[in-house]
Structure 1
């Protein structure tokens, strides 16, 4: 998932991208240089961007995580004489675009007016697969560009018996070459010195391209590519030494197992099961402690302050105690769980395993008829559906982008995880991890089956594509990168809690305080308020699924804004109804009672039906906005209809069958 922070922003192809403070009091102005970072996915480009700018961009092991252009400031403390703006361009193997993200990179480097192009391009190249990384260098050297090559993964190359003569390589390429290790923050001052020297010098002339004489006919693109490959091969041969040993790398030996057609999927499922088991068991004591903190000291302190201010008998008390503290506070108890989940996933990503998971799952997806590269945005969707919709741009065909954008809402985002864990802990306390794991398996199954159904009806002529993905070497996760990624994702979760959830709580409080038939504002039973009356109207729709209680139905409606709001809605509603009996344990009791009553004494199948409905029904408002931007309003509404039909049908079937057992 790509996360923009305060130091990053989306940039359009103009000469003056948005600038920001570098953290040391210096900012890049319009006269400061603009440096573009380019390179193939998984060669350390975004890691180098984070190291140079401190932007803390999330580093993923699949293309599509940086579809939009990020900008940050390379400060003077890292060796530059003046701050520079750094653009992190989408990962691209070539400037001959095969997808919208590669097209964007070409547009910014070659198609933009000369005044709008970067002053210098830093190309990240994998030392272990050097020839593969130099194609884009060959293309850039055909234009009047200052180019610096940042050679990454030299340690991996050395373990494979490969070494490079850096001066010889620089001479052969006609541009500076610097060895860097952005994971360990090594080489950045050498890179800064090379950039300074290149910026001070005149723009070099394009390299001479020797093409066969075609008697004034247009140049054959195949001849041009043949010339580039010959140039690359010559440079690599001159500068590369191999010890001659035909050794199998450590990564290759592991990949023989983890990407095996049979063992690979099993290892992937076991890995995910372990992640959910650790998350649900380790985080629970911390959740309980935070729940007691909000329902005890925080609520008591707020009551004391309101009494001191003379507001104890006013609607303000309901907003603060029963709304903000009960709703937002209950949601914040899930911070330890989300932090632990994000940390475990960050460790898997940093180690290189998640790219293998993409390969394993891609194989299964293609056998079922889905586009090969479609799995990449779907993986992002398990973090958040919004960037996953944007990541569909990596697909070359418009129909593929449309299909995957309709499937992304069926991926279970991290916002749903909070509700899964809460209900699984209440109704299946000894098997909570297994229940959560089952929801993610069901999510994958829904994506596959819905995709097959749409392919069989609307996209019957669309062919699938193989997944082309460079697998990064396995590496020991670094605490700095893993913690930075964890904090970025956790901050996004907290931003939701502090923004959308607070606004939702206020709206719910206002509706719960508004009488419909009698009473005064702030002094009305919840079921007689505007909120309660509307919920009673909707509730019968869910009766066949076993959760037709008005409190449950209203939580699903609020969840349309953000899935985390389901929890805050419950906490807020039950706190208003019973202000003397609040807290995590009391909320659990209220929820148990609601499902028991609505299901006619069959709460477990009703809860499972509710969880499935939560997984499959309409995603949050932000996801719908992203869909509308990418595929249009008509297809977005079509997707909403499909999701509601699938969610309601599955929920009813699960409850109606489950209540007989």
Structure 2
């Protein structure tokens, strides 16, 4: 069964309601467009004999589950985006065979998929236009009428029975958030599968004209108008509740301050609220859990050696990093879901559209990009709110340039050491540079790899406001967090185990495996080999390089890696302490007396290169290895070029 519908129709909510946790996601072949697949276990309904003796009915009755594919939201099957192209191709393939064209109702295959079209009652005309295109391809269509409560508030009453009589196909009123109507929906699907019926009154297709022909589109729009007239479904002339709210929220003088407050709340959630929980979660794993693991290994006679170090400091510590991110991801998923489900995110897109269009984007990308300044990881997840795959991919490539708070610890250390009188100004400059990198990256990508993205003005149907239901949102949040833990977690643990092994392998005499100073380990020798790469930037030393290599795993441990390399304590408070003094001495030597220029170059590299391993893992999960590895290579290249340019220019001045 194919789930079809326009954006903001409640399609994905219905999919989650029907399938529960029985779902998977994967990209459509050859694209970055995500398809969700799941199984629905409806009630038994009427017997096969009551529905008819057709082979399809018997098969459905015998099966306890129905396979569902949630197709990307589409306004039309005449595609103007990769998402709509995938939807059109999947419907064509499932209703007429791969590579074939749909035939007439009398010649279609008996195993055609049922198309469950989700129609937003508040935007009925758009849904009917899409239904007309789907109905031209298959005679197995069921309409799930959603958001009737929202339509009623706006003065629009849609009678599902009158609509079904006019269309000639079943129309079932459904509330995806509560599950109301899903039993009737299952019955309708079984009925249509057993007794196909065509949508009545559709304009006859012209054999010599493509489906996207303007005359054909005009005819379908006219047919949708006729259906709306026939069932007497018209908006009240009075202003709707959404109109009254939008009068204020879409006014820049009111809407922008509200947006700033919303972002402030998201930042507080990502830093002030989530940080203690993240710390407690990681401490639980690396403390009591690690202690239990050590005790168990000792009981098995495996404690006290390198194997315990591998398990506790490698595997368990890696799990601790993954578990620490889970509360943050859950909070941000839930917060963004609330904003999206309420209808607010679409209003943000309208407010930000003019600014983002100046760099070739539209307003819908503003939310993920700004969330990135709180944390890049949930910002990547927030790209799921964007309607088209290419937009999601482009935004996901830009997110790592948003400077997250984890980088702030490095900025504060270096700025406090080398610019103690202007620490705040230097840190502010890093954030200004971050914004410039995001905008510059958008401009560059739009002019090269993403030239195919349309530059048309933003046109979207603003969804009606409604109060989100916590139950479905919690279920969706749980599934997304589990997907992160499975996808990104595996990569994070594997890399951290590899780092531990490099730190444990001695490369000089007098040390044993697992008990070796950093510089005498394989990790230290690796950083020795990499250090000359940064000599043109003024900080070609193994200790600063080790901080950058460790920072690839997580920026928040970069300062700790420096302290470990210098064998000093990490600084506390705002004072750089002994670590700052040691760092100043090193940069004086490596930069030829231009330590301040080297420090700024170091900060620029920290800003521009890959944020953390978790971000890489999430990019891989969302966009695949090819784009992820290309993005990492581009980030490292941009960071090195900017860092070298910063040092070489500033050393001429200082």
TM-score (norm 2): 0.75
Partner of 1:181: 175
* SS of residue matched to 1:139: helix
* 1:613 counterpart = 2:608: yes
1:342 to 333, 336, 343: 333
Partner of 1:419: 406
Mapped to 2, the partners of 1:552 and 1:99 lie a distance apart of 45
Partner of 2:128: 134
Mapped to 1, the partners of 2:129 and 2:429 lie a distance apart of 44
Cα shift at 1:513: 2.0
Mapped to 1, the partners of 2:621 and 2:163 lie a distance apart of 48
Cα shift at 1:330: 4.8
Partner of 1:192: 186
Partner of 1:530: 522
Report if the CA contact (8 A) 2:310-2:500 is conserved. yes
Partner of 2:545: 553
Report if the CA contact (8 A) 2:33-2:83 is conserved. yes
Cα shift at 1:141: 2.4
Partner of 2:248: 257
* SS of residue matched to 1:333: helix
Cα deviation 1:342-390 (Å, max 9, x = unaligned): 3322222222222222333333121334467777997999657988999
Mapped to 2, the partners of 1:421 and 1:493 lie a distance apart of 25
Distance 1:337 1:238, change over 3 A: same
Partner of 1:84: 66
Report if the CA contact (8 A) 2:294-2:303 is conserved. yes
Distance 1:379 1:208, change over 3 A: farther
Cα shift at 1:435: 12
Distance 1:136 1:68, change over 3 A: same
Cα shift at 1:56: 8.0
Cα deviation 1:427-479 (Å, max 9, x = unaligned): 999xxxx9999988865542322233466789999972222222222222221
Mapped to 2, the partners of 1:461 and 1:323 lie a distance apart of 44
Report if the CA contact (8 A) 1:135-1:229 is conserved. yes
Distance 1:229 1:365, change over 3 A: same
2:485 to 494, 497, 506: 494
Report if the CA contact (8 A) 2:407-2:607 is conserved. no
Distance 1:245 1:302, change over 3 A: same
Mapped to 1, the partners of 2:216 and 2:6 lie a distance apart of 21
Mapped to 2, the partners of 1:506 and 1:79 lie a distance apart of 53
Report if the CA contact (8 A) 1:125-1:149 is conserved. yes
Cα deviation 1:132-156 (Å, max 9, x = unaligned): 1111111222344221111111111
Mapped to 2, the partners of 1:104 and 1:460 lie a distance apart of 20
Cα shift at 1:160: 0.9
* 1:204 counterpart = 2:185: no
Mapped to 2, the partners of 1:131 and 1:72 lie a distance apart of 29
Report if the CA contact (8 A) 2:401-2:438 is conserved. no
Report if the CA contact (8 A) 2:302-2:308 is conserved. yes
Paired residues for 1:551-630 under 5 Å: 553-554=545-546, 556-557=548-549, 563-564=553-554, 608-609=603-604, 611-614=606-609, 620=616, 623=619
Cα deviation 1:221-278 (Å, max 9, x = unaligned): 333223222221121112234574422x332233333334565445434321221123
Report if the CA contact (8 A) 2:77-2:84 is conserved. yes
Of stretches 331-340 and 528-537 in structure 1, the one that deviates more from structure 2 is: 331-340
* SS of residue matched to 1:246: coil
Distance 1:357 1:530, change over 3 A: same
Mapped to 2, the partners of 1:136 and 1:516 lie a distance apart of 66
Cα shift at 1:506: 1.8
Cα shift at 1:534: 0.8
Distance 1:115 1:498, change over 3 A: same
Of stretches 97-106 and 457-466 in structure 1, the one that deviates more from structure 2 is: 457-466
2:503 to 490, 504, 512: 512
Partner of 1:170: 164
Distance 1:66 1:545, change over 3 A: closer
Partner of 1:70: 36
Partner of 1:46: 12
Partner of 1:234: 226
Cα shift at 1:292: 4.5
Mapped to 2, the partners of 1:595 and 1:284 lie a distance apart of 28
Higher normalized contact order (CA 8 Å, seq sep 6+, divided by chain length): 1
Partner of 1:367: 358
Paired residues for 1:100-139 under 5 Å: 100-111=82-93, 112-113=96-97, 118-139=112-133
2:636 to 634, 637, 644: 644
* SS of residue matched to 2:400: coil
* SS of residue matched to 2:9: coil
Cα deviation 1:75-109 (Å, max 9, x = unaligned): 03486853211111111111212222212222222
Q: Give the root-mean-square deviation of aligned CA atoms.
A: 5.0
Distance 1:147 1:454, change over 3 A: closer
Cα shift at 1:612: 1.0
Distance 1:609 1:124, change over 3 A: same
Cα deviation 1:468-495 (Å, max 9, x = unaligned): 2222222222211332233233324433
* SS of residue matched to 2:157: strand
Mapped to 2, the partners of 1:349 and 1:75 lie a distance apart of 28
Cα shift at 1:645: 3.9
Partner of 1:32: none
Partner of 1:410: 398
Mapped to 1, the partners of 2:564 and 2:286 lie a distance apart of 10
TM-score (norm 1): 0.74
Distance 1:467 1:244, change over 3 A: closer
Cα deviation 1:521-542 (Å, max 9, x = unaligned): 3333221111111112323544
Mapped to 1, the partners of 2:633 and 2:459 lie a distance apart of 33
Cα shift at 1:652: 6.1
Mapped to 2, the partners of 1:261 and 1:337 lie a distance apart of 31
Partner of 1:476: 467
Mapped to 2, the partners of 1:475 and 1:437 lie a distance apart of 38
* SS of residue matched to 1:337: helix
Gap runs ≥5 in structure 1: 1-34, 60-64, 396-400
Gap runs ≥5 in structure 2: 26-30, 47-60, 98-107, 417-424, 589-594
Report if the CA contact (8 A) 1:551-1:570 is conserved. no
Distance 1:377 1:282, change over 3 A: closer
1:503 to 490, 494, 513: 494
* 1:161 counterpart = 2:155: yes
Report if the CA contact (8 A) 2:600-2:646 is conserved. yes
